[in-house]
Chain A
Amino acid sequence: MTIEEIKADIVDEFSMFDNWEDRYQYMIDLGKTLPLIAPEYKTDDHIIKGCQSKVWVHADMEDDKVAFTADSDAIITKGIIAILIRVFSNQHPTDIIEADTDFIDEIGLKEHLSPTRANGLVSMIKQLKMYAIAYQTQLN
């Protein structure tokens, strides 16, 4: 699936929830199912420090596609990471570099991507793109 198709799917899924409780419960459950980052990557080299929660990210490239794994010590942050990884992972570096995160507004989670939120997510998206740029350079 392309990034745009995955985003449309996510927006569709969230449109089924008519209250914040269900939306957040879904995110919390997603957070619980997120494939954990391999322990050897859950180190200070892979950490993105927010003031409130910590995020760890690792990237690998296989068949010209970048695969991300990630984790957080806060479950809601982890749920949003699960959504972001679903969108960005297993995609070509160019597509990752060009993708935007506007769909987060549409599913009512905008506040979590505010730079003042200090949960590490804004920096995490930057980090995903940095990995994509690095792998893009390798492909060239």
Chain B
Amino acid sequence: MKTVELLDVEKIRKDFPILKREVNGRPLVYLDNAATSQTPQQVINVIVDYYSNYNANIHRGVHSLSQEATDAYELARQKIQKHFNANKSHEIIFTSGTTHGINLIANGFSNRLKAGDEVIVSALEHHSNIVPWQMLCERSGANLKVIPMTQAGELDMEAYGKLLNTNTKLVFVNHISNALGTINPVAEIINMAHEVGAAVLVDGAQSVPHMNIDVQKLDADFYVCSAHKICGPTGIGMLYAKESWLLELPPYQGGGEMISEVTFEKTTYADLPHKFEAGTPNVCGGIAFGAAIDYMNAIGLEAISSYEQELLDYATQELNSLDGVVIYGPDKNKTSVISFNVENIHPYDVGTLLDKMGIAVRTGHHCAQPIMDFYQIPGTIRASFMFYNTKDEVDTFISGLKKAILMLS
């Protein structure tokens, strides 16, 4: 097993050109990783190489460039399949990102649900995992139920058990809360849902950068994520779905790529995965997504995760030593996200002053208004760490925060 000492952070930082830049005259301290991660040169090189050497439309071309681009794109799909331990590569559908994957499934279920059916979401969801299901329920007449959260920022599993019944058709839950960093017990959630015959979609946007995911071991029906949270580019992501579901669900969009035969009387759909990939895909993005996974695996997600936990513990301890700081979410079993407030100070003011000092954090409701309503706060300040952050940066953040508090008090 890899150990923390194997993570050479100074060497890793050299892979990320953006970390060298200054913001407002200060060296950038980037602590908004839960919103988007930065891109290493290795991935940037793949993007440049694609457009410099083999940019082409894929799958139907007989010429060499098209073949090369198709091979690279399909190889990326296989890398993703292997990384998530999907049974078959066509169970990996390229999407534009997590939100697209969620909408694809919500749309696929719209004709399968009827009035009286029940759909469960968790109180810890991002708006992208609430709104599509509300829309689905409005269309189908199904009822939306919510797994409540506790004061500690965890899901109330006993309440979840009571919500499940034979009318439950779908359960949607994030693996990790973007607002609080809570790691949800998804294996247990899936297991309990399957006992009543419900399918489960897991939003992995926040988990994928921090841990190894085995979709078969989890027995997830659907698992979605975005490449830009895991050192890849924006505009590309994946939907994993069990083959049986992909065969059963209708296509999401019509167009080129997704057909087998077209006449004006009838169209037959293409085989998997193309049935769900209408139009020219984000070829470069898919290939770069594969490169990002290679990059993460070369460092090792276990080493990454232990190092990030160390950073999290250090930052939490330092923050707790400041007067008036309130941290939201669980004390343990969370990823490297700290959501907090300073008594009597608006998060927007703190974020504005930290930015003047070159420190990037996120402030606001983090697209999770129900969580903010639960705590009765307008928002939080969220610092989120990746394996390329350092203890020195935590120190800069803490001293910047002290200065901001002094100015605002």
Seen from chain A, the residues whose Cβ lies within 8 Å of a Cβ on chain B are 20-21, 24-25, 28, 51-54, 73-77, 118-119
Contact = CB atoms under 8 A, between A and B. Distances in A.
A52 B356 contact: no
Nearest to B404: A24
Contacts of A73: 346, 378
B348 interface: yes
Given A74-B348, A76-B352, A119-B348, A28 B407 contact: yes
B273 interface: no
A25 B345 CA distance: 15
Given A24-B356, A75-B349, A76-B352, A54 B407 contact: no
A52 B381 CA distance: 11
A52 B348 contact: yes
B355 to A, nearest CB: 9
B407 A74 contact: no
Nearest to A20: B356
B46 to A, nearest CB: 30
Contacts of B352: 76
B48 to A, nearest CB: 29
B408 A75 contact: yes
A74 B379 CA distance: 12
B330 interface: no
Q: Which 7 residue pairs are nearest across A and B when measured between Cβ atoms?
A: A74-B346, A74-B348, A52-B348, A53-B348, A76-B349, A20-B356, A74-B349
Interface of B: 24, 345-349, 352-353, 356, 363-365, 378-379, 407-408
Contacts of A77: 348-349
A77 B363 CA distance: 14
A111 to B, nearest CB: 9
Given A28-B408, A52-B364, A119-B348, 14 more contacts: A21-B407, A25-B407, A51-B365, A52-B347, A52-B348, A52-B379, A54-B378, A74-B349, A75-B345, A75-B346, A75-B408, A76-B352, A76-B353, A77-B348
Contacts of A53: 346, 348, 378
B110 to A, nearest CB: 30
A74 B342 CA distance: 13
A101 to B, nearest CB: 19
Nearest to A79: B349
A19 to B, nearest CB: 10
B356 A51 contact: no
Contacts of B348: 52-53, 74, 76-77, 119
Given A20-B24, A20-B356, A24-B407, A51 B349 contact: no
A119 B378 CA distance: 13
Nearest to B367: A51
A28 B352 CA distance: 12
Nearest to B25: A20
24 contacts: A20-B24, A20-B356, A21-B407, A24-B356, A24-B407, A25-B407, A28-B349, A28-B407, A51-B364, A51-B365, A52-B347, A52-B348, A52-B363, A73-B378, A74-B348, A75-B345, A75-B349, A76-B348, A76-B352, A76-B353, A77-B348, A77-B349, A118-B364, A119-B348
A74 B348 CA distance: 7
Contacts of B356: 20, 24
Contacts of B364: 51-52, 118
A52 B366 CA distance: 10
A55 to B, nearest CB: 11
Nearest to A119: B348
Contacts of A119: 348
Contacts of B378: 53-54, 73
A21 B379 CA distance: 25
B385 to A, nearest CB: 22
B241 to A, nearest CB: 33
Nearest to B353: A24
Contacts of B407: 21, 24-25, 28
Contacts of A28: 349, 407-408
Contacts of A24: 353, 356, 407
B71 to A, nearest CB: 40
Contacts of B353: 24, 76
